[in-house]
Structure 1
Amino acid sequence: MSHYQTAARDRVPLGQKAAYGTGTFVLNLLPSSLAIFAFFLITGFGVDPVLAGLLTGLPRIFDALTDPIMGFITDNTKSRWGRRRPYIVIGAILSGCFFALLWQLNPDWSQDYTFWYFLLFSLAFTIGNTMYATPFVGLGYEITSDYNERTRLMAFSQFMGQIAWMIVPWFWVLIADPDLFSTQAEGVQTLSLYVAGGCILAGLIPGLFCKGIDSEKIENRAEISFRTIWQNLKGVVANIIQTFQNAAFVKLCAATFLVFNGFQLVSSFSYFIIVFHMFDGDYGAAGTWPAWFATMSAVMTALFVIPIVNWMSGKWGKRNAFIISTILSIFGYGLKWFGFNPENPWLVFMPIPLMSFGIGGLFTLMLSMTADVCDLDELKNGMPRKEGTFGAIYWLMVKLGMALAMILGGVVLKFVGFDAGLATQTADTMTKLRIADIVIPASTAFFAILVMRSYDLTEQTAHDIKAELVKRRGDI
C-alpha cells in the first residue's frame, strides 16, 4: 500500500485527465489507421508490393531522426504558452491535414507518380505527427509530480486511448463493404477524411486545456534558432547519450521493446488463425469474427485491465504491478491454444481478459515510470528537464521495434509454411503458426520480467528525489 497521500495541489482534475486522454486517443488513432490503410496500397491502388514496402519503411527511418530532434526543441522552447502546448496545437492541425492529403490517391495514377506523391506526403505527415506526439508525451510526464497520480493520469489516458482500438478494426469491414463504397480506393479516401477531421478536433484539446510545468522556472535552456543549429544538434546527441546512461530508463525501454514488439510480431496471426484454422479458409464464414476479437480486446483492456493495474500499482508499486500483469498475460497467451476452437468460435474470447494485461499494464505503468525517471535525470544532470527527449527516445524504441516486428512477422509466416495464395492451409502449417502465436509473445514477456526485476525506482525513492528537487529549485 502507498505510504504517501497525494497532495491536493498534485492531483490532476478530471477535466484535465479527460483532455490529456483525448490526445492519447489521437496518438493511437493515427498510426493504427495508417497501418490498416497501408494494406490497401496494394489491393486498392495497385501499388507494387516492393514499392509498398518502401513506402511504409522509409518514413519510419525519417521518424527515427525527427523524434529526438523534436524532443530537444520542445525541452528548450521559451514561450508564453509553455514548452509543449504550441507544438501540440500546430502538430494536431498539420497531422490531420497531411493524413487526409496522403490518402487522396488515384488508382489511375502511374506507379512512379503514386510512389513520389505518397512518399512526400508521408514525410510531411511524419513531421506534423512528430510535432504533435513528442511534446504531447512530454506534457503528460510533467502534468503532475506525484508518484501515484502519474499512474492514475496514465491509466485514464490509456483508457481513452483504447477507444481508438475499438474503432479501427472495423475499418477493414467498412472499406470492403460494396454497399458503402464502390471500390476499396473510395473507402480509404473517404474514411481518411473522417479520421483526419476527428484527429484535428480531438488533438487540439490537450494543447488548449492541459497545464504542464511553469516554463519560466526552467533554467539552462539552449537557444533554439537557425544561428545555433550546429550547437543544437550537438545538444541532441548529448541528450541522447544522457538518456541511455540512465539505467532505470534503459530497463523501461528494454522491457517495452520485449513486451510490445513480441505482441506486435504476432498481431496479424490471430486473423489468419481465425480464418484458416477456425473457418478453414472461408472468409465469408469468418465474417466479422477477427474485428470482434480486436474490439473486445480493447474493450477488456479499457474497462477491466487498466483499472486493476492502476489499483495494483497503488497497492504494491509500479514494478510489481508490471510483473504481475505480465505474468497474467503469459497465461492468457497460453489459453489461445484452447480458445481458437473450430467447434466453438465463442471460445475465441476466452484468452482476452488475461492476455490484455500485457499491453494494458505495459503502457499504463511504463509511461508513469518514465515520468519518475525524468525526476531522476534532473537530480543527476540538472535543468533543463528533458521530458520531451525521454518521451522521444522511449517511443523511438517502440517504433523501431514495430518495424522489426513487421519484418520478422513475415519471416515467421514463411518459416511455418503459410501461403496466403492458398484457399486452405495444411494442418502442420496451422499447428506451427498457433505455436508461434503463443510462444513468441510469452517468451518476450518472460524476458521483460527478468529485465524489470532489478528496477529499483520505488515510491520511497521517487518521494525522496522529489523532496530533494523541491529543496534545490522550489516547486515548479
Structure 2
Amino acid sequence: MSQSVKVPIGQKAAFGAGHLINNLIPGILGVFVVILKSADGFGMDTVLAGLIVGIPRLFDAITDPVMGYVSDNTSSSYGRRRPYIFIGAILSGLIFAILWQVHGDNTEMYNFWYLLIFSILLIFGNTIFSTPLIALGYEMTSDYRERTRLMSFANTIGQVAWMLVPFLYVLIPDDSLFDTQPEGVRTVALIAGVVIIILGILPAIFCRGIDASKMEGREDITLKSVFGSMGKIFKGIKKVLNNKPFAKLCLATFLVFNGFQIVAEFGVFIINFYMFDGDWGASKWWIALFPAVTAAYTAFIAIPIINWMANKYGKRKAFIYATLISIVGYILKWWGFDPENYYMVFLPIPLMAFGMGCLFTLMMSMTADVCDLDEFENGMPRKEGTFGAIYWWMIKVGQGLALVFSGVILKLLGYDPTATTQTAEALTGMRITDIVLPVITALCAIWVMRNYSLNESRAKEIKEELVKRRGEL
C-alpha cells in the first residue's frame, strides 16, 4: 500500500485538468447567474437567482459524505477513485449542457423551477466526479513538501478556468455572435459540456493513487449496504470533525472562500455601474480583464511565491502571511475602481491574488497531512474520500449560501436588476461591502489558524510510524 514520493509530470497535469473542471463549472455558473440578474439577460429577481445556486448545495450535505464513504470502501481493478471520476465527468458534462437550455421569453417562475431542478441533478453528477478526484489528490504522494508542489501545480492549471471564463462577459453580449444573451448562454453551455467531459476523464485515465488491494477494514459496497450504513457514515463524519487540525482547515477555508464569494459578483456591477455608468458595451472588457488578470497573476506569480513560503516558513505561516497580504489588496480596491482612470482597476490585483492562491494550494496539502494523522490515530481504512467530501462540502454549501446572501445583500443595498443605472447609495453600499466583508472573514481565518499544530516535523514523525506499521521499506 505504499505511496510514491515524486508525482510524474503527466499525472500532475491530468490531476490539474480535473481541477480546471472543478473551477470551470462554478466559474461559468457565476457568469450565467449575473446574466440571470441583468436587464439585458433574463432580468430574474436577485433572490430567486441566488436560490437556484443556493438550494442545490443543501443536497451536498448528504451526497458528498456518502460519495466519500463509497469511494473509501470501493474495491476494483481500477482503484478506489478512478471509475467514479470517469462516470462523474460524463454525467456532469451532459447535465450542465441541458441545465442552461432556457429561453428569455419563458416566464420567470418557469425558468426558476427548470434551473433549480437541473441544478440539483448537476450536484449529484458533480459529486460523483469531484469527491473521488479530491481524495485521489490526497493519496498521490506521501511526501510533506511534494503534496504542496502537487497542489500548486494543480491549482495553477485550475486558474486557467478563471482566466478564460471572464471573457464570457465579452462574448455573450456580442450581438455579432448571438442575437440575445440567453442564446449565448445556451450555446456556451453546450460547448462547456463537451469540455467538461473531455478534460474531466483525464484524471481517471492517467492518475494513480494508493494501491488499496491489501487495505484492511473496508466494507462491501452495495446499494443496500450504503443505505444501511448511513449511521456509520455520519459517525465517521463526527470522528473526522473531531480531528482538531482538520476542523481548523475547514473553518478557515469556509471563512476566506465565502467572504470572497459573497462579494465576487459585486465587482462586475461596480465596474459597470460605478465606473461606466451602466454601459455594458463599454465596460465588458474591463469586467473580463479584472478577474482574468487576477487569475493569471495568481497562477504564475502568487502560487509559486506561496509554494516557496510554505517550504521556508511552513504551511501555517505561509497561509497567515499570504492572507494578510490579500487583506491589503482588498483595501486597495477602494482606489482601484476609479471612474477617472480605468487602469487603476489593476492596482489591488498583485496583493489580492494571494488570498485565493494560498487557500487551496495550502489547505489541500494540509488536508493530505491530516489523512495521515487520522490513520495514525484511528487505523485503517484510510479516509481520504471522507475528508475530501467534508472539506469540499463546507466549500460548496458555503458557496451556495454565499450566492443566496449575495442576492439578498444586493437587494437590501438597493440594486435593481431591471434598471440600466443604479443609485449612488446602492453603489456606495456595494463598494464598502466589497471590501469590508472579505477583510473581516480573512482576519477571522487567521485567528482560527494561529495555533494550527500539524507542522512538518510532526508530519514526518507520523509518516515514519505509519511506514513501520505497514511493514514498508
TM over 0.5: yes
TM-superposed deviation, 1:413: 3.0
* Whole-angstrom CA distance in 1 between matches of 2:112 and 2:355: 37
Verify the 8 A CA contact 1:102 1:122 in the aligned structure 2.
yes
Matched position secondary structure for 2:264: coil
Question: Is contact 1:224–1:232 with CA below 8 Å preserved after alignment?
Answer: no
Give the Å deviation of 1:112. 6.9
1:76 aligns with 2:73: yes
Partner of 1:162: 159
Corresponding residue for 2:214? 217
Please, which of 6, 10, 17 is the counterpart of residue 12 of structure 2?
17
Q: 1:431 aligns with which of 428, 434, 455?
A: 428
Q: Which AA in structure 2 matches 1:29?
A: L
1:358-377 matches, cutoff 5 A: 358-377=355-374
Q: Distance in 2 between matches of 1:194 and 1:67?
A: 27
Give the distance between the partners of 1:412 and 1:61, measured in 2 at CA: 20
Q: What is the identity, as a one-letter code, of the residue corresponding to 1:293?
A: F
Partner of 2:315: 318
Give, as a single letter, the amino acid of the residue that structure 2 aligns with 1:13: P
The answer for the alignment partner of 1:398 in structure 2 is 395
Match of 1:63 among 60, 67, 77: 60
Instruction: Classify the secondary structure of the residue corresponding to 2:229.
Output: helix
Displacement after TM superposition at 1:151 (Å):
0.2
CA distance, structure 2, for counterparts of residue 275 and residue 47 of structure 1: 18
Q: Residues 47 and 143 from structure 1, CA distance in 2 versus in 1: closer, same or farther, beyond 3 angstroms?
A: same
User: Which of 27-36 and 65-74 deviates more?
Assistant: 27-36
Name the counterpart of 1:180: 177
| C-alpha distance 365-49 of structure 1, shift in aligned 2 (>3 A) | closer
For 2:158, give the aligned amino acid. Answer: G
The letter for the 2-side match of 1:392 is A
SS in 2 for 1:215: coil
Backbone CA RMSD of aligned residues: 2.3
Say whether the 8 Å CA contact 1:24–1:157 is kept in structure 2. yes
Identity of aligned residues (%): 56
Contact 2:44–2:417 (CA under 8 A) maintained in structure 1 = no
1:307 aligns with 2:315: no
CA shift digits 1:426-451 (9 cap, x unpaired): 44443333222211111111111111
Tell me the equivalent position of 2:27.
32
Moved more, 374-383 or 427-436: 427-436
2:250 to 244, 249, 253: 253
Which of the residues 126, 134, 138 maps onto 2:135?
138
User: Amino acid of the residue matched to residue 441 of structure 2?
Assistant: T
1:124 deviates by 2.7
Aligned residue pair count: 470
**C-alpha displacement at 1:296, in angstroms?**
0.5
Give SS of 1:222's match. Answer: coil
In the TM superposition, what are the counterparts of 1:241-320 in structure 2 within 5 Å?
241-320=238-317
For residues 171-197 of structure 1, give each alpha carbon's deviation from its aligned partner in whole angstroms, at most 9, with x where no partner exists: 122111110012223212211111111
| Shift in alpha-carbon separation, 1:160–1:46, aligned structure 2, 3 A | same
Q: For residues 286 and 83 of structure 1, what CA distance do their matches in structure 2 show?
A: 47
Gap runs ≥5 in structure 1 = 1-6
Asked whether the equivalents of residues 50 and 403 of structure 2 are also in contact (C-alpha less than 8 Å), the reply is: no
| Change beyond 3 A, Cα 1:104–1:421 | closer
How much has 1:149 moved relative to structure 2? 0.2
Tell me if the contact between 1:331 and 1:355 (Cα under 8 Å) persists in the aligned partners: yes
1:277 deviates by 2.4
CA–CA distance in structure 1, aligned partners of residues 99 and 419 of structure 2: 33
Q: In 1, Cα distance between the equivalents of 2:26 and 2:99?
A: 13
Q: Is the 8 A contact 1:72 1:235 kept in 2?
A: no
Aligned partners of 1:28 and 1:384: how far apart in 2?
30
C-alpha separation between the residues in 1 aligned to 2:4 and 2:405? 47
Task: Point out the more displaced range, 39-48 or 422-431.
Answer: 39-48
Report the counterpart of residue 3 of structure 1 in structure 2. Answer: none
Aligned-partner SS, 1:69? helix
Deviation at 1:46, TM superposition (A): 7.4
2:50 and 2:396 map into 1 onto residues whose CA distance is 16
Q: Per-residue CA shift, 1:398-457, capped at 9, x if unaligned? A: 112112222332343344444455554444443333222211111111111111011010
More displaced 10-residue stretch of structure 1: 14-23 or 28-37: 28-37
Structure 1 residue identity aligned to 2:73: N
Distance 1:112 1:336 in 2: 36
TM superposition shift of 1:109: 5.7
| 1:234 equivalent among 231, 243, 260 | 231
Residues 76-128 of structure 1: per-residue CA shift (max 9 Å, x gap): 00111110001011111111111112223355666676555444433332211
**CA 1:320 to 1:50, structure 2 compared with 1: closer, same or farther past 3 Å?**
closer
**2:377 matched to which residue of 1?**
380
CA distance in 1, matches of 2:125, 2:374: 28
Instruction: Give structure 2 stretches of 5+ with no counterpart.
Output: none
CA distance in 1, matches of 2:108, 2:286: 35
Letter in 1 for 2:25: L
Deviates further, 86-95 or 222-231: 222-231
The whole-number CA distance in structure 1 between the counterparts of 2:408 and 2:335 is 25
Contact 1:45–1:105, Cα closer than 8 Å, also in 2: no
State the shift of 1:25 in Å.
0.5
Which of 405-414 and 186-195 deviates more? 405-414
Q: Report the more deviating stretch, 306-315 or 224-233.
A: 224-233
In structure 2, the CA distance between the partners of 1:176 and 1:272, relative to structure 1 (3 Å rule), is: same
CA distance in 2: counterparts of 1:166 and 1:19, whole angstroms = 19
1:469 aligns with 2:466: yes
Q: Mapping of 1:102-117 within 5 angstroms?
A: 102-106=99-103, 114=111, 117=114
Distance in 2, matches of 1:448 and 1:112, equals 38
Name which structure has the greater RCO, CA cutoff 8 Å, separation 6+: 2
**1:82 is paired with a residue of what secondary structure?**
coil
TM-score normalised to structure 2 length: 0.93
C-alpha distance in 1 between matches for 2:21 and 2:123:
14
Note if 1:458 corresponds to 2:446. Answer: no
